[in-house]
Each structure stands twice: as structure tokens, then as C-alpha cells.
């Protein structure tokens, strides 16, 4: 237990002149669930996007599953295949059926036989409870269903880590719960998860640790109970008082 899977050390990142990440250091253990919150523009999304290098950091080291991620990383695809990501806008492939969305990467990246990939996809679609929608196209599904399909698609790569970038922010209120239920189920199954979200109820239920970010810095990192009951920094207190 508690072996490191992600390690960030003094990570700095700039968008032009603007510094989005300032001296970020963070360690994530296997099976740990971390929820990152903070005001918009605080760098939370950028942080998790650096972990699978959808964004490049300029300073510091990021180590994912014993491989350092940098411009020299030869096989960034192999790392990405181990790190599932769920986006705010779902980003399903609209030209493919839900089933094909799920089997595309296993077949072409992991070279899995088609039949096996389809079985795996149906298994995961069942897990997120949309196996009856497998042959529809993304455009025919509701937002909540699309996001669950996106989670299933990521799961089909059998990732070691799952990153969630505000997965419920683009959803209608009544659909948020169905997505959160799937995520809770996933957390209970022992997945390592980093979740950027404003759903504090979800955070209280599943998170081991909470991170509060503001202006590119990690302002506070604490055990979940401590974070909500007894936040240390004034900025965190202010944020929590507004959001709860």
C-alpha cells in the first residue's frame, strides 16, 4: 500500500508572461483519491492536464508511474494509455457509435482483438449503466449519458489513474447525480483518482485528501475531514464559506 504513482516536484508553468502554476509539489499514492477545488483560473485544470501532458510544464519534474514526463519522453503515448481522462465537454467521438468510441483505443493502441475489446466495452458500459445505448451515436444521448460513456471509454484502456476535469460542470442539475454515482462506484472499486470539481458532497464522500488552489499555488492540502471542519488558511475559509 501507499506506493507513489504520481510525483510532482516544484512544477512551474507559464502561458506566455502569465504564470499559471507556481512551485507545485504533490505526491499521489496508489488508490488515493484527491479532489482539487479552487476558484476559476486558479490552475486546477492545467495541473491535471500536465499529468498526461496535454499541457507542457516548463520547470520542475513530473513523474508518473516511474517515468518522468518531459519533452524528451519518447513514449508519451504509453503514459497516456495508463492515465484515463474525463473532460468537462465529454469529447466523445461523434462519428462513432458509443461501442466504437469504447473499442477504438483498445483495438488500435493496445492491439486488443476486436471481440475482446467489445466484451470489455460492454462490461464497462454496463458498469456505467448505459449498455443499452451501445449502438447509438453520442449525439443521440443526454449529457449525463454522454459523460458516463466518456468514463466507460477511459476505463476501457484499463488505466492505473483516472483524471477528472470538472466532469459535471457542463451538465444539467438532474444529470449530475448519475455521473457522480458512477464516480463514487469507481472510487470504491479502488481506482486512483484526481478530480477537479466543485461538488463538495462528492468530495466529502470519496476524497482521501483535499487540495485547495488559488492563483497557481496549492494553498492548502489536508485530509478531507480536516479540510472541511478546520481549514487553516483564510483564503480556504473564504472559498468554502462561499461554496458550501
Partner 1 sequence: MNYLDNIIKPKQANQNTLVIFGSILILISFLDVVLLSVFDINLTGSSKGISFFLPLLLGFIGMYYIRFDHTNFPLINRFNKSLNIDWLNSIFTLLSIFVLLKFVPLILNWLIFDANFIGTAKEDCTGGGACWVFINVWLKRFVYGLYPDSETWRINLAFILLFVTIGASYLAKPKFKKYIILFLLFVFPFIGLSLISGDVGGLVYVETNVWGGLALTLIVSIFAIIFCFPIGVMLAMGRRSELPVVKYFSVGFIELWRGVPLITVLFMAANMFPLFLPEDVFLDKLIRCIIGIILFEAAYMAEVVRGGLQSLPKGQYEAAKSLGMGYWRMHLFVILPQALKIVIPGIANTFIALFKDTPLIFIVGLLELLGMIDLAKTNPKWLGFAAEGYVFAALVYFVFCYSMSRYSQKLEKRLSTER
Stretch 188-217 residues interacting with partner 1 (CB under 8 A): none
Residue 243 binds partner 1, judged by CB under 8 A: no
CA distances from 31 to 73, 145, 161, 187, 207 (A): 25, 26, 8, 8, 11
Nearest CB to partner 1, comparing residues 95 and 126? 95
Site for partner 1 in 63-102 (CB under 8 A): 77-78, 80-85, 87, 89, 91-95
Q: Minimum Å distance from CB 137 to partner 1?
A: 4
Cβ closer to partner 1: 169 or 204? 169
Which residues 147-176 are close enough to bind partner 1 by CB under 8 A?
150, 153-154, 157
CB of 79 or CB of 222, closer to partner 1: 79
Q: Which is nearer to partner 1, 85 or 219 (CB)?
A: 85
Least gap, CB of 110 to partner 1 (angstroms)? 8
Q: Binder to partner 1 among 23, 27, 137, 142 (CB under 8 A)?
A: 137
Cβ proximity to partner 1: between 44 and 235 the closer is 44
Task: List residues bridging with 27 in a β-sheet.
Answer: 7
* 7 in Cβ contact with 62 (< 8 Å): yes
97-136 footprint of partner 1 as x/- string (CB under 8 A): -------xx--xxx--------------------------
Nearer to partner 1 by Cβ, of 87 and 227: the residue is: 87
CB of 71 to partner 1, least distance (A): 12
Query: How many chain residues bind partner 1 (CB under 8 A)?
Result: 29
What string of H, E and C letters represents the secondary structure of the chain?
Answer: CCCEEEEEEEEEEEECCEEEEEEEEEEEECCCEEEEECCCCCCHHHHHHHHCCCCCCCEEEEEECCEECCCCCCCHHHHHHHEEEECCCCCCCCCCCHHHHHHHHHHHCCCCCHHHHHHHHHHHHHHCCCHHHCCCCHHHCCHHHHHHHHHHHHHCCCCCEEEEECCCCCCCHHHHHHHHHHHHHHHHCCCEEEEECCCHHHHHHHCCEEEEEECCEEEEEEEHHHHHHCCCCHHHHHHHHHHC
Residues that bind partner 1 (CB under 8 A): 52, 54, 77-78, 80-85, 87, 89, 91-95, 104-105, 108-110, 137, 139-140, 150, 153-154, 157
Amino acid at each position: 500500500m501507499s506506493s507513489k504513482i504520481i510525483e510532482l516536484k516544484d512544477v512551474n508553468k507559464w502561458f506566455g508572461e502569465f504564470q499559471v502554476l507556481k512551485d507545485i509539489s504533490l505526491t499521489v499514492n496508489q488508490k488515493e483519491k484527491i479532489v482539487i477545488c479552487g476558484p476559476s483560473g486558479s490552475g486546477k485544470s492545467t495541473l491535471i492536464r500536465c499529468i498526461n501532458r496535454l499541457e507542457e510544464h516548463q520547470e520542475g519534474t513530473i513523474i508518473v508511474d516511474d517515468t518522468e514526463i518531459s519533452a524528451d519522453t519518447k513514449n508519451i503515448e504509453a503514459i497516456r494509455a495508463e492515465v484515463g481522462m474525463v473532460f468537462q465537454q465529454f469529447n466523445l467521438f461523434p462519428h462513432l457509435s458509443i461501442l466504437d468510441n469504447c473499442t477504438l483505443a483498445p483495438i488500435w493502441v493496445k492491439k486488443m482483438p476486436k471481440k475482446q475489446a467489445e466484451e470489455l466495452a460492454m462490461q464497462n458500459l454496463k458498469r456505467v449503466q448505459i449498455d443499452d445505448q451501445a449502438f447509438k451515436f453520442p449525439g443521440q444521448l443526454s449529457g449525463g449519458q454522454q459523460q458516463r460513456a466518456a468514463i466507460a471509454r477511459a476505463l476501457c484502456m484499463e488505466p492505473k489513474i483516472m483524471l477528472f476535469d470538472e466532469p459535471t460542470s457542463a451538465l444539467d442539475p438532474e444529470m449530475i447525480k448519475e455521473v457522480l454515482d458512477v464516480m463514487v462506484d469507481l472510487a470504491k472499486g479502488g481506482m486512483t483518482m484526481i478530480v477537479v470539481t466543485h461538488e463538495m458532497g462528492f468530495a466529502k464522500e470519496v476524497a482521501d485528501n483535499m487540495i485547495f488552489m488559488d492563483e497557481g499555488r496549492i494553498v492548502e492540502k489536508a485530509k478531507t475531514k480536516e479540510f472541511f471542519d478546520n481549514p487553516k488558511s483564510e483564503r480556504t475559509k473564504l472559498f468554502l464559506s462561499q461554496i458550501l
